[in-house]
Every structure is written in C-alpha cells, then in structure tokens.
C-alpha cells in the first residue's frame, strides 16, 4: 500500500500545477488549498479568496445534494463529485453513510445502470469487449500502466442487482463495489480497478436502443465465452498476482462455475455467492446464539436456488463441516432448496437440476404422500409443513412469497423462527418484516436484504430489523487480500470473517436488538473482519507476509486509506500522475487512432512505418537498458544477479559507470534457454522504479565463451580486441580526443593541428536520457496542436513548447524519463510531412 497517504504524513510532494492539479480527483482540494499551496501550485488566481475547511466543504456539498429530490439525480451529483475530488466525496458519504449508501449503491445504482447509455458522461474504468479481444492485453496495460493494483472488480452484467442483463452498464456495479471497498474497507481508490466484460447482451431493449454504448450483439456463451474470460483472468494473474479479483453479478450458469474454476489459481471472490453467503452465515450464527442452539440442529429452507441461494447453502454447509466437524454428506441433509420448479428432488430430472445443485437434491421417497401441483412439484407451504424448519431464507425475488400461512405454519413448530427475506430491491422482498413479526406473534428473529424500519412487538417494544448487507463483510475480506498477500481466499478465512462479524451482534446482549451491527458502523466492523481473516491466513500458512498475527491489527490500521487532506509541497520531481508513480510496466504498442487537427496528418499506429526487423537473435546474454543511473554499480550488479538467478545459473553481470554504458548492463547465463525464459518473464519488470528494456545481446560474452567454448576463448578474445580497435574512433567524441592527442605529440613543425571545432559539446545522440525531448527538422508549418496530437499517443505527456523565432525545432516534455524514452524510440525519423524526417534526441539539461 505504498501509495496510500497515511494521516501521520505531514506533506506530500506533487509536481502538478494549475489546472492539472485542480482536475485531478486524487490531488484536488478545491477551496481547501491553503494560501501557501495556492502560491506554490499557481492556484491563487484560479480559486476564490476564502480557504475552506473540509467541514465547510461537506456542509456546502450536502446542501447541494439535498437540493436534488430524485434519488437518480442525487446519484448523478455524487458521481460528478467523485470525478472531481476523492477526499471530499468519500468524506461526505462517510458522514452520511446510512443515508447515502442507498443512493450510491442499491437500489438507486440499479436505476443508474439501467439508464447507463443515456446518462453516460465519462469512462469509469476498463471496458474489455469481445470483438476487441485481440488487443485485450494492450488495453489492460494501457489502463493500468505503472499502477499498483490491489483490487479488481469485474462484471459481465448478466444478473445486475435484481434487474437482470444490463450489458456494458455493468461497469456501474463494478465501480459502485469499488467505492464500497474504499468507504468501509479502507482500500486506496487509486489501487482499485473497475472492469466490465462486454460479451454482448440478451436485453432486447438495449439491442434496439440507438444510444446503447455497448457491443450491440447477443451474449457470447460456452467455449467462446470461457476463452474470453480466461484471457482476462490470466492477465490479472500475470501482472497483479497478489490482487483480489472480485466477480460481481455474473449469471447463475457462470457465477459458481467460474469461482470453482479459478479459486485455486488466484485470490478470487464472488460476492453473490460468497459475500451473501458469508453475511447470512453471520446473521444465522448470531440468531442461534440468541436461541442457544447449534447450527447442526437446524432445518434450513432456502427459497430461491440461484447464485445467492446456492452461495448461502455452501457457506452454511462449509461452516458445519469446518466448525462443527460434520461430514459433508450429513451437512447437505440439513438443507431444502426450492426454485421455480419447487423443491429440488430427484424426480425433477437433469433438465431442471443444474450440476451445482446435485449435492442438495432430496430423495423422492421423503415426499410420498405430500401434496404436489399438477406437474408433481412440491411448493413452499408443503415443505414447511413436512420439514418444520427452524430457518427460512428467501432469495427468490418472488415478492410476497412468504405468505401468512407459511409464516404461521413455521411458527407452530419453532419457538424462535429465524426468517430472512433477503431479495433486493425491497419491492421484490419475500415478506415485509413487519408482517413476519406480526404473523409469528413477535417470535421471529429477522434479517432482510434491504433496510427496513423497526417492527412493533406485541409487548410494545420495537424490534430492530437486521440488514443482511454484504458490505458488512466483503470489504473486510478485500482488505485482507491486500494485507496478507495470500494468493487464495479459503473457506476457513471466510468462516473466520463471518464468526468475527457474528461476535459483534447487538442481539447477543439484547435478544430484541438487531442480529447484525448497524451499517453506520460498517468501517469498524470491516476492520475487525479484516483482522480476523488475516489472523486465519497466518494460522493456516497461506499468508504471503513474514510478520506474525500479533501484528495484524496494527498493520491493518496502518494500511487504511482515509479521506483526509494532507499538506502538499510543489516538487518538479514529485508525483505528477493521477493514480501512481512512474510507469512500472513495459509500455504497450501505440494507442489506436487519435483525434487530429487540420493540417499536417498525425500518425496513428498503422501509419508509422514499421522497422524492418531481422528475425530475433537468441543468445546466452541479455542486454538491459533503462536502468536507474542513480544506483551504485556494485549494488546494481548484485540486484541484477539476485533477480535473474531464480531462472538458472548466472555466469556474469557486466555494468559500468562510463558515459556510453550508463543505464545499461549485460547478464550472461549458462544457456540460451535460460536467457530466453528470463527475458520473457522479467521484460518490463521495474527495477528501482524504472521498467527494464531487455533484448538479446548480439555477441557472446567472455563468460559464455569461457564456459561453453573454452578451446576457442583466446581466439574470441583476440577478435573482440581487434574489433574494439577498429571501431574505437567511430564515436565523435573519441575521434576529437584522438586528433587532439596526436597533434600535441607531433613535432611543432610537422604537426597537423586538430580540426578546429570551437566549443565542442557532447553530440545530441549521446546525451543521457531525461524527460524532455528536443525535436529538430520540423516542417515550418507545424503547429502546437499537431505535435500535441502526435506525442499524446504516448502516456504521460506534460507539455509541448515551440520556439517562435525558430520554427523547425521544439521541446516535448513528459512526466517521467521512461515515457519520454518510449516516445523518442517510436517517433525518431518519422516523416511528419511525408518528406523530412524528424530528429528526436534528449534535451540538454
């Protein structure tokens, strides 16, 4: 969490100035910039006079929010605020958490997602589209260039928030989930990524909508779908192996299947399956704590066997196995699952029983003599009469599914029936909890999936309805992933989090109180969940950290991102970028077409003449460029040896501090196969904050020849020395010094003076890399806009400066040396006007 700004840090060095810092939501403070900061960052004339506190800003923003009456307009206002100022946005929502969560998340976010194409303003994350899958890696790297990512939330949007298939609008739920992770889990928003996996949509209204911004095609399924999803997940594993990958609102046929497929490969989490299951498990554990019973003694009906219902069954079943030492087969017998075909039993046949439900199929013999409908299906009331359940859970979106007869029948055979209508949004809930309380005679222990007001008890007291909100647990699980760095999220970790959540239940002190903590306490609740899960990860040996669990609480507190302003100091070498520090990933190829002004044509990827590359030469030695020149040679060599030795035997590392070799090195291996593997795995890896540029060396090193061809070593050495003598004076600087030395050594009468070259400077071609490029041989008609369009194809462009009195030269500045190097290598010698080649070198400092 190196990019998180802790409260204890007094200042932060930032290189953005003027409009650049005001338009960066990470760095912008608006009217809260101090007078000193306004002067330092060129903001005095860009802001009104008064300096506001965060309290004053929140008061103003809250007034502005309340001037909007419709929830969807409030949602749009808060989205706009998030795009402008992260600290103010998160501070405001935290201050009014219970009030605003329904605005930024369910149920209002569902309406925003349904209208996504009509409300579209700007990108909210990464859009990966099926017809563009050949560029998926390029697109992924373009969006994540140089960022440290801890959390990735992705959705294919097939089953959004109770409103079904929403196509590309799924980016909205990914972004909303990421916000919750930050609000109550303390995840740094700069280290999370929201993704939509656009594989089409079967929503006919979207397909017919001319304003729909997604791929207007029916959903891709089966093998093509699986390959597309797998390609994305392998990119996550390759570039961010310690991140948490959160699956959100996948369809019922894919949610559990993909979770099981990838959970042993990466830390993956499906909120609909595991999150709903975990928070429901916590509520159930709290309820049986009130009834003084055991989980193994329960009879559980789950009404709705989709992703959520099945996830609840899995979590409760796994808790029985892990916590109560019940066998898996015996644990399965506790559950009675009901879907649109009635009770899941043998006679339904394979066409109506998905593979994921097979463990919970009831034998037909149990139901002899039980009333069925004309299709032989057993309904909820008949199951309640037969089973006499202690727990009834609803996730069917069947509004009113828990009838008065069902509730009263359940209350007959149970002292404290546990009733949990969890369907979202509230209009689809199986029963109003007030009615459940009334029809059960005030006996029911209640939890719902949406917020509801307290219910009146027969004794006149108010019964607090627990909100079974996934956000009471999944942000803590996400924070755990960041903190423990384990590459999987095990069932025992989720159980540990659910147990810690249950232990915080107010009902354990007062049976008439809520089964779960109030959502307003979600930040502290998730902190406790994170600590519990990290401790479990350390106990079971799956953590990737070396510290003990006694440090978990302190480290969890230290890693939390908090929405507070810190002091900034202007530093031209400080932070420039919105999200991250200098690029730490090998830059992808040129971006596709850019908008261009009139005049000289601006190149796009296809327009840049490709270099005629020779077939790649493979050797035992790697040539490495773009190394950090500030690192001592001895330290650099040791670091390179340590990095590469994991791929095989390293014979030698060569690096020098002279002008020609600065920032470069050679690493020789015992075989070309080792070198090839190392190049593939390490290319672009950031060493001392600079991504290494690696290729095969064109000649064999002394160490390689000595090892592999010792008999010809002396001949190799002689050839190398001869070649060195032949090429020694091709460098203009060395040629100058040779001429001067020869002239001084000759007799005065016979001396041939060295060529007169007044004030000889280092040739431009040999200037050391820096972030400013010097352009020569430009067409006199070139404009600043044209150069901006040309060089903005490469990330992190800062400024283009023309020289009014000399129109054939210009300077282009990037935010870091690595970005400037990429642009220079790509555009040097490009024919901007079709005739003259641009000469690009690094500028003299």
The answer to whether residue 7 scores a pLDDT higher than 50 is no
Q: Do residues 28 and 83 make contact, with C-beta atoms less than 8 angstroms apart?
A: no
CA distance 122 to 691: 30
CA distance 147 to 736: 45
- pLDDT attached to residue 815: 82
Which pair of tokens denotes residue 77? 């206002």
The answer to whether residue 165 scores a pLDDT higher than 80 is yes
Pick from 306, 296, 323: nearest CA to 393: 306
Tokens 């190829």, located at residue: 589
Q: Is 55 helix (H, G, I), strand (E, B) or coil?
A: helix
Q: 583 falls in which pLDDT band (50, 70, 90)?
A: very low
Q: 220 falls in which pLDDT band (50, 70, 90)?
A: very high
- pLDDT attached to residue 591: 35
- pLDDT attached to residue 641: 84
CA distance 639 to 687: 9
> Domains plus CATH for the chain?
105-267 (3.40.50.10380), 273-363+377-469 (3.40.50.720), 472-559 (no CATH), 621-708 (3.30.70.330), 772-842 (3.30.70.330)
Which pair of tokens denotes residue 800? 């283009």
- pLDDT attached to residue 400: 94
Angle at 380 between CA 376 and CA 382, to 5 degrees: 65
The residues near 412 (Cβ < 8 Å, ≥ 6 apart) are 388
Which pair of tokens denotes residue 538? 């350390």
Rounded mean pLDDT, 748-764: 45
pLDDT tens-digit readout, 22-60 = 999 999 999 999 999 999 999 999 999 999 999 999 999
Range with top average pLDDT, 348-352, 519-523, 824-828: 519-523
Pick from 374, 366, 316: nearest CA to 346: 366
0.95 exceeded by pTM: no
- pLDDT attached to residue 577: 53
Show which residues are catalytic: 105, 177
Min mean pLDDT across 531-535, 618-622, 710-714 is at: 710-714
- pLDDT attached to residue 761: 47
The residues near 692 (Cβ < 8 Å, ≥ 6 apart) are 624, 625, 626, 627, 682, 683, 684, 685, 686
Min mean pLDDT across 38-42, 64-68, 137-141, 636-640 is at: 636-640
Q: How many CA atoms lie within 13 A of 53 on its CB side?
A: 3
DSSP 243-276: SEEEE-S--TTTHHHHHHHHTTTS-EEEIIIIIH
CA distance 141 to 684: 12
Strand 391-394 and strand 418-421: the pairing is: parallel
Alpha-helical (H) ranges within 41-195 are 54-66, 71-84, 86-95, 97-104, 108-114, 116-119, 136-144, 171-185
CA distance 683 to 558: 33
Would you say the C-alpha torsion 344, 345, 347, 350 has a positive or negative sign?
Answer: positive
Q: 738 falls in which pLDDT band (50, 70, 90)?
A: low
Contacts of 398-405 with C-beta under 8 Å, sequence gap 24+, read 398/303, 398/304, 398/423, 398/428, 398/430, 399/423, 399/427, 399/428, 399/429, 399/430, 400/430, 400/431, 401/303, 401/430, 401/431, 402/303, 402/430, 402/431, 402/436, 404/435, 404/439, 405/381
Rounded mean pLDDT, 259-277: 91
More confident site: 512 or 785: 512
Q: Do residues 531 and 499 make contact, with C-beta atoms less than 8 angstroms apart?
A: no
Q: Do residues 372 and 365 make contact, with C-beta atoms less than 8 angstroms apart?
A: no
The residues near 203 (Cβ < 8 Å, ≥ 6 apart) are 164, 165, 166, 167
Which pair of tokens denotes residue 402? 């828990």
Q: Is 153 helix (H, G, I), strand (E, B) or coil?
A: strand
More confident site: 639 or 181: 181
- pLDDT attached to residue 578: 47
């Amino acid at each position: 969490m190196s990019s998180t700004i802790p409260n204890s840090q007094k200042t932060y060095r930032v290189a953005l100035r003027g409009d650049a810092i005001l338009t960066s939501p990470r760095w912008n403070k608006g009217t809260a910039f101090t007078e000193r900061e306004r002067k330092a960052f060129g903001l005095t004339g860009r802001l009104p006079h008064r300096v506001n506190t965060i309290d004053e800003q929140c008061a103003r923003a809250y007034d502005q929010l309340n001037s909007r009456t419709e929830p969807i307009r409030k949602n749009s206002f808060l989205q706009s605020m998030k795009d402008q100022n992260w600290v103010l946005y998160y501070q405001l929502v935290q201050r009014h958490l219970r009030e605003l969560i329904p605005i930024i998340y369910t149920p209002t976010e569902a309406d925003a997602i349904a209208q996504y194409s009509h409300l579209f303003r700007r990108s909210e994350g990464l859009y990966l589209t099926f017809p563009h899958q050949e560029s998926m890696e390029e697109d992924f790297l373009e969006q994540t260039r140089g960022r440290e990512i801890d959390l990735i939330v992705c959705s294919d949007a097939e089953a959004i928030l109770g409103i079904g298939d929403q196509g590309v609008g799924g980016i909205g739920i990914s972004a909303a989930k990421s916000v919750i992770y930050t609000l109550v889990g303390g995840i740094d928003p700069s280290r999370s990524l929201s993704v939509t996996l656009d594989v089409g949509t079967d929503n006919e209204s979207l397909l017919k909508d001319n304003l729909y911004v997604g791929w207007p095609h029916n959903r891709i399924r089966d093998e093509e779908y699986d390959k597309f999803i797998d390609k994305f997940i392998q990119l996550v594993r390759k570039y961010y192996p310690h991140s948490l990958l959160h699956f959100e609102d996948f369809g019922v046929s894919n949610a559990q299947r993909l979770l099981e497929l990838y959970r042993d490969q990466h830390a993956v989490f499906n909120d609909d399956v595991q999150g709903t299951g975990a928070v429901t498990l916590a509520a159930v554990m709290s309820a049986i704590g009130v009834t003084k019973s055991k989980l193994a003694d329960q009879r559980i009906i789950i009404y709705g066997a989709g992703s959520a219902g099945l996830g609840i069954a899995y979590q409760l079943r796994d808790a029985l196995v892990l916590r109560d030492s019940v066998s898996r087969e015996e644990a399965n017998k506790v559950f009675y699952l009901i879907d649109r075909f009635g009770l899941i039993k043998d006679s339904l046949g394979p066409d109506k029983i998905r593979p994921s439900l097979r463990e919970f199929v009831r034998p037909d013999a149990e139901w002899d003599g039980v009333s069925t409908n004309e299709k032989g299906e057993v309904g909820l009331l008949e199951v309640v009469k037969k089973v006499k359940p202690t727990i009834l859970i609803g996730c069917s979106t069947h509004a009113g599914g828990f009838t008065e007869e069902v509730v009263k029948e359940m209350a007959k055979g149970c002292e404290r029936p546990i009733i949990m209508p969890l369907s979202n949004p509230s209009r689809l809930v199986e029963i109003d909890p007030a009615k459940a309380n009334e029809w059960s005679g005030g006996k029911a222990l209640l939890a719902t999936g949406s917020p509801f007001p307290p219910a009146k008890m027969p004794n006149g007291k108010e019964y607090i309805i627990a909100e079974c909100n996934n956000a009471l647990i999944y942000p803590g699980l996400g924070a755990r992933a960041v903190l423990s760095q384990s590459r999987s999220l095990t069932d025992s970790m989720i159980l540990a989090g659910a147990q810690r959540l249950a232990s915080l239940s107010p009902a354990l002190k007062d049976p008439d109180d809520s089964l779960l903590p109030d959502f307003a306490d979600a930040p502290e609740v998730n902190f406790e969940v994170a600590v519990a899960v990290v401790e479990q990860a350390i106990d079971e040996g799956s953590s990737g950290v070396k510290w003990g669990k006694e440090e978990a609480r302190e480290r969890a507190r230290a890693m939390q991102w908090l929405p507070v302003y810190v002091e900034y100091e202007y530093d031209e070498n400080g932070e420039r970028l919105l999200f991250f520090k200098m690029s730490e990933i090998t830059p992808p190829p040129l971006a596709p077409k850019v908008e261009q002004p009139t005049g000289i044509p601006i190149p796009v990827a296809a327009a840049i003449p490709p270099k005629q590359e020779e077939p790649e030469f493979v050797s035992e030695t790697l040539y490495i460029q773009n190394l950090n020149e500030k690192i001592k040679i001895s330290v650099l060599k040791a670091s390179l040896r340590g990095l590469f030795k994991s791929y095989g035997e390293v014979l030698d590392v060569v690096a020098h501090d002279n002008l020609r070799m600065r920032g470069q090195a050679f690493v020789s291996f015992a075989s070309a196969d080792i070198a090839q593997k190392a190049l593939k795995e390490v290319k672009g890896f950031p060493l001392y904050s600079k991504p290494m540029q690696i290729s095969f060396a064109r000649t064999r090193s002394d160490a390689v020849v000595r090892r592999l061809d010792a008999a010809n070593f002396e001949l190799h050495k002689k050839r190398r020395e001869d070649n060195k003598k032949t090429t020694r004076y091709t460098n203009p600087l060395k040629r100058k010094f040779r001429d001067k030395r020869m002239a001084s050594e000759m007799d005065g009468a016979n001396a041939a003076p060295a060529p007169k070259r007044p004030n000889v400077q280092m040739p431009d071609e040999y200037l050391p890399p820096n972030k400013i490029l010097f352009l020569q041989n430009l067409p006199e008609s070139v404009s600043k806009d044209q150069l901006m369009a040309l060089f903005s194809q490469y990330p992190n462009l800062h400024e283009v400066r023309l020289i009014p009195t000399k129109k054939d030269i210009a300077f282009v500045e990037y935010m870091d040396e690595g970005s400037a190097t990429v642009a220079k290598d790509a555009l040097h010698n490009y024919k901007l006007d079709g005739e003259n080649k641009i000469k690009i070198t690094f500028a003299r400092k």
